[in-house]
Chain A
């Protein structure tokens, strides 16, 4: 298992390099000019000099290796330096945002906590709600609970976050005035009151994202449980005199989790994608918003870095899904 994991990690290196190249070339081929948002009063020759100063005069086969060097060597060096007070980086050039002229990773580090809080929390909440719903729906198939669960999932599947988000704002912020419509990223939790405030501002974005997660995961869970509930080994467990709780939560659940774990792990990167829209609606100052602003401003290093980080996340989640698969199912241990 350990050897398998290490081998998979090594294989993911060329995969990621290839993904980086594809993203880079896509951005290279895309139309748009980083200077487009500069005031029109700046003379063209000055603009040209600014372009050269950003390194845009170099061909792609120079800039791509430079980016790789900065991403994989220079940035980790700066990170180690900041942690341990060493001086590996030695003033090397970091990845700089075209828009803010500050290091891309510093901005990402600022924005990351907001996204993780909202997105991460919504995913955890969504999964935690979805699993029991799926289990009970399958065990009591066609019951009122199951029908209600099916209905809610259908809504979760079919109503996009940009609609449900706005709807929630209209109901709870505009009409009822219970919850704030804007997420205050500068808010710091220091005492009970500020914690309650943090909870209140998180509820709506978390619920919007969790609805989607719940809808999907509960459906997979239900289907997988239904598959397993009719298996012969379930009858064996009952014939052994096991209680229904043991039969369902021990025998059936572990088998049913095998495909669901894959869905959960592979869903993590996609929820970051979904968060881009939700962050816009609730004005959460997170990664998604950062990416959109960078795209609008042709901030190529920022777009490139965030997109690539998402790619890393996808590859890693794939790996984690496979490893978990092996842990849950002894028939596919990769030794």
Chain B
């Protein structure tokens, strides 16, 4: 990871709100992060913590209404993606930022051939003709490890297995040599062996192509294996952010610590009961005015109920949004 390099993607104070029948839901609250060239940023959190919504807000992929990106800046290529015309945004989507989605079974269009679906962005963003695009599509399928690539270009998605379809999705995302690849739980819908294969593939492609990756997951094991830095999200906010080593050896936010405890181990005669974090993740009806995690927190105190903790800088690129200082075991100064 090249330290100090200018970030390729810089997100500041992103806010996304959903309008629902029963009022507003604040799905993303003041999320800031940056991504340096070539690095892999892991984003972890429970379902509903705002991981996917954050990433889709960046590229305007959320349906509006009900979604509403209220504020913030997303700097990419010296442009604020939240304030560009739709044509510029479309050039970025699929051209400079690739997206891989969670469910490969439904993410491909069932009525068009895989080849056509890979060639579409090539022809749009790279201005290739049909022949060039077909050649490149074949190359891409080979790159993501699909055997007999030339013949499979004319196959339809239903003729591929789940893992193979996810490889096709990755091929589509990589088609135009993007600077950033956003992978939204790309292995969640796959079984474990296929998961491992896709992970290996991504690691290999990342070193080969040198792009920056944002990897969304709720699987800490996956993160430990591939990420450079990790961002932990809860209630639509970043609660902790650190290098992967720091996060696993020195977690500072009570939520991160609780998450790490939930990883089951196979040590011991008989596995103890699985550890769980009691309670439900919150549904943010209002912009947070208190700590979103306090109801489930074991170190919460009165200040947590009246103020939302900011992200405290703990040095060495590590920060945590908590009033309780785990290093000293005492509340931070007001």
Contacts and interface: CB of A to CB of B under 8 A. Distances in A.
Q: Do A and B bind each other?
A: yes
Contact of A331 (B59, B90, B93, B158): B158
A236 B103 CA distance: 11
A316 B106 CA distance: 34
Interface of A (DSSP majority class): helix
Interface string A291-335: 000000000000000000000000000000000000011110000
Given A242-B120, A243-B90, A237 B109 contact: yes
Given A232-B101, A331-B158, A239 B111 contact: no
B124 interface: yes
Which residue among B110, B156, B172 has the maximum number of chain A CB atoms within 10 Å of its CB? Answer: B110
Interface in B147-175: 156, 158, 169, 172-173
Contacts of B169: 236
A54 B95 CA distance: 79
B200 interface: no
A63 interface: no
A31 interface: no
B90 to A, nearest CB: 4
A103 B95 CA distance: 69
Contacts of A233: 106-110
Nearest to B87: A243
Interface in A85-124: none
Interface string B161-195: 00000000100110000000000000000000000
A251 interface: yes
B50 interface: no
- Chain B interface residue count: which class? 20 to 34
A231 interface: yes
Contact of A330 (B63, B92, B111): B111
B303 interface: no
Contacts of B158: 330-331
A329 B61 CA distance: 27
A236 B117 CA distance: 10
A236 B125 contact: no
A233 B105 CA distance: 9
A49 interface: no
Interface of A: 230-233, 235-243, 246, 251, 254-255, 258, 328-331
Q: Which 10 A-B pairs have the closest CB atoms?
A: A241-B94, A240-B94, A239-B99, A241-B93, A232-B106, A233-B109, A330-B156, A241-B90, A240-B121, A232-B107
14 contacts: A231-B106, A232-B106, A233-B106, A235-B107, A236-B108, A236-B169, A239-B61, A239-B93, A239-B101, A242-B94, A242-B121, A243-B90, A329-B110, A330-B158
